[in-house]
Amino acid sequence: MEILLSTLNARYVHAAFGLRYLLANLGELRPRAGIREFDINQRPIDIAESIVAEDPRILGLGVYLWNVALTTELVAILRRLRPSLVIVLGGPEVSHEWEDQEIVRLADHVVTGEADLAFADLCRALLSGNPPAAKMLHAPLPDLAKVAMPYELYDERDCAHRVVYVESSRGCPFTCEFCLSSLDVPVRQFPLDEFLASMQSLLDREVRQFKFVDRTFNLNLMVARRILGFFLERWTPGLFVHFEMVPDRLPAELRELIARFPAGALQFEVGIQTFEPAVEKLVSRRQDHGRLEDNLRWLRASTGVHVHADLIAGLPGETLTTFAEGFDRLLGLGPQEIQVGILKRLRGTPIIRHDAGYAMLYNPAPPYEVLSTRDLDFATLARLRRFGGFWDLFGNSGHFAATLPLLWEDGVSPFERFMAFADWLHANGGKTSGIARQRQYDFLARHLLTVRGIPETIVNERLARDQSPRRKPGTDAETATALPERQARHLAGSGGVSSFKFQV
């Protein structure tokens, strides 16, 4: 193997979509190339051993936010062990603000932008003995009609055990200053008939979970209707399709199709980010709150779609009060999951124009999270970071659907009450990960009893409901158990130790 394509995935279950595109588009060089995937739980020295054993002439590495530190260490090891190895980098982390990056200094070449075709051209030049003089190579936007789709490169292991990523388009029409997609203009579509033929081939290979990475899946209504119709016609128990949606764009022709899907078949990732108009204006974000709210209410009332909504804490101009109001507003719309993320200062994004005016301080190490702002000090952002972690554990998991609302059923702000719970958890040794399920129940019950003063009979009755197997009417066991774990819990409920009771 002369060309080795590799990266460090965030987890084993995540298959490297970009590497498969590069391999699929190598043309006549494809038989001389291969993919080796690793993950960030592996030591760079062990990964280096595996790469050296392959003895490639060219190593292409995908560099991302989650792996840049470890990949830098890996490249430094390889540079010492194999000085003649040609190391080529690509990916968003090295496509912007690369001048002072150590990993760029160590590499031979860096291909910025969409490298599907440009990487193949570079490999041809390198293998023919005519390397380009420049280190930094800027790939022009490829014509997607000329980009070979990579779906045949998902092997049997991928199809059975890993997330299968797909895309019908690239680009984003919006200009949100915190997002790299704001730099990716215009929106471009892959040839739809060819794309749907590839989706059919994945279905024929027993793939049942598809994750679309399109940034604005429902932007082109004709394309969205055809893709939704394609999966609706082929639905079988366990088929699960994830889309990222523009939240205020859901016209009647899409609603009609969406409503026909069985419960649990679709997941919509809905990026709200903020409800504060002044903040939206600052970061060049456009959304219609009225339509957004109407769409989310309709999705929860009239469909079986699993809704995952995003909020960002730490945007310039956002205060604790406005963020709390936004959280409560979103919770009232009923999404099954709310991801509370902390603002990241991604390389290349124009969010930096607010650094001085809003006193934005960021962690210099990946993932470059904001440390403090003019309106949120370091301690408050630390609390919000814990809030998000604990909300994922208790609010998003689906394990506490009956018990958790006891925190705010008296009409007080859910954000205020859950923040108090998060602060209490932190003070009592709770962590945002790694808490055993039984201990989670114990923590929540103790807080409800000793801090909130909820009667023991009520707390135990709610806990029993959360821990008793239950199924949403109209769904069968096969449908519920074949879905991803968390979505299945939201659809069918979760089991537990029904005899558990908490007593002071």
pLDDT tens readout for residues 328-366: 999 999 999 999 999 999 999 999 999 999 999 999 999
At residue 503, does pLDDT exceed 70? no
- The tally of domains found in the chain comes to 3
Average pLDDT over residues 459-478: 74
pLDDT tens readout for residues 177-198: 999 887 766 899 999 999 999 9
Alpha-carbon span 254 to 226, nearest angstrom: 10
Q: Provide the percentage of residues in the chain whose pLDDT is more than 70.
A: 92
- H helices of 112-234, in order, are 118-127, 156-161, 192-204, 221-233
Q: Are residues 202 and 293 in the same domain?
A: yes
Phi, psi of 73, deg, nearest 5: -65, -40
Q: Are residues 212 and 270 in the same domain?
A: yes
At residue 249, does pLDDT exceed 70? yes
- Position 468 scores a pLDDT of 82
Q: Are residues 407 and 278 in the same domain?
A: no
- Collapse the DSSP code of 421 into the 3-class scheme (helix H, G, I; strand E, B; otherwise coil) and give the result: helix
With respect to residue 152, please indicate whether it lies within any of the assigned structural domains: no
* Domain-ending residue, one of 344, 376, 408: 376
**Where on the phi/psi map is residue 434: left (φ > 0), alpha (ψ -120 to 50), or beta?**
left
pLDDT tens readout for residues 390-418: 999 999 999 999 999 999 999 999 999 99
Instruction: Give the mean pLDDT of the chain.
Output: 92
Q: What is the CATH number of the domain that holds 175?
A: 3.80.30.20
Structure tokens that stand for 412 in this block: 């007080």
Confidence of residue 479 (pLDDT cuts 50, 70, 90): low
pLDDT tens readout for residues 162-179: 999 999 999 988 889 999
Helix axes 320-331, 414-427, angle to 10 degrees: 110
With respect to residue 151, please indicate whether it lies within any of the assigned structural domains: no
Q: Are residues 458 and 329 in the same domain?
A: no
With respect to residue 158, please indicate whether it lies within any of the assigned structural domains: no
Q: Are residues 117 and 178 in the same domain?
A: no
**Residues 6 or more apart in contact with residue 9 via CB below 8 angstroms:** 15, 16, 37, 38, 39, 40, 67
Q: Are residues 295 and 416 in the same domain?
A: no
Q: What is the arrangement of strands in the sheet containing 209-212, beginning at the earlier edge strand?
A: 164-166, 209-212, 240-245, 266-273, 306-313, 337-342
pLDDT tens readout for residues 313-328: 999 999 999 999 999 9
Q: Are residues 128 and 247 in the same domain?
A: no
With respect to residue 385, please indicate whether it lies within any of the assigned structural domains: no
Average pLDDT over residues 91-96: 95
Q: Residues 60, 119: contact at Cβ < 8 Å?
A: yes
At residue 122, does pLDDT exceed 60? yes
With respect to residue 383, please indicate whether it lies within any of the assigned structural domains: no
Alpha-carbon span 361 to 322, nearest angstrom: 20
Q: Are residues 455 and 337 in the same domain?
A: no
Alpha-carbon span 30 to 33, nearest angstrom: 5
At residue 493, does pLDDT exceed 80? no
Q: Are residues 318 and 461 in the same domain?
A: no
With respect to residue 156, please indicate whether it lies within any of the assigned structural domains: no
Q: Are residues 123 and 172 in the same domain?
A: no
With respect to residue 384, please indicate whether it lies within any of the assigned structural domains: no
CA 98 to the chain's CA centroid:
24
pLDDT tens readout for residues 441-464: 999 999 999 999 999 999 999 999
Confidence of residue 262 (pLDDT cuts 50, 70, 90): very high
* Cα distances (Å, whole numbers) of residue 241 to 209, 233, 236, 306, 490: 6, 13, 12, 10, 16
Average pLDDT over residues 117-128: 98
Alpha-carbon span 72 to 251, nearest angstrom: 46
Alpha-carbon span 261 to 151, nearest angstrom: 25
* Cα distances (Å, whole numbers) of residue 59 to 35, 104, 122, 429, 489: 10, 14, 12, 45, 42
pTM across the whole model? 0.91
The partner residues of 339 in beta bridges, in order of sequence, read: 310
Confidence of residue 434 (pLDDT cuts 50, 70, 90): confident
* Domain-ending residue, one of 83, 112, 142: 142
Domain that holds residue 434: 397-504
Alpha-carbon span 229 to 233, nearest angstrom: 6
Q: Are residues 405 and 371 in the same domain?
A: no
* Domain-ending residue, one of 142, 173, 193: 142
Structure tokens that stand for 101 in this block: 């990056």
Give long-range contacts, CB 8 A cutoff, 24+ apart: 451-456.
Answer: 451/420, 451/421, 451/424, 452/406, 452/407, 452/417, 454/406, 456/502, 456/503, 456/504
With respect to residue 388, please indicate whether it lies within any of the assigned structural domains: no
At residue 426, does pLDDT exceed 80? yes
pLDDT tens readout for residues 18-75: 999 999 999 999 999 999 999 999 999 999 999 999 999 999 999 999 999 999 999 9
At residue 498, does pLDDT exceed 60? no
Q: Are residues 402 and 341 in the same domain?
A: no
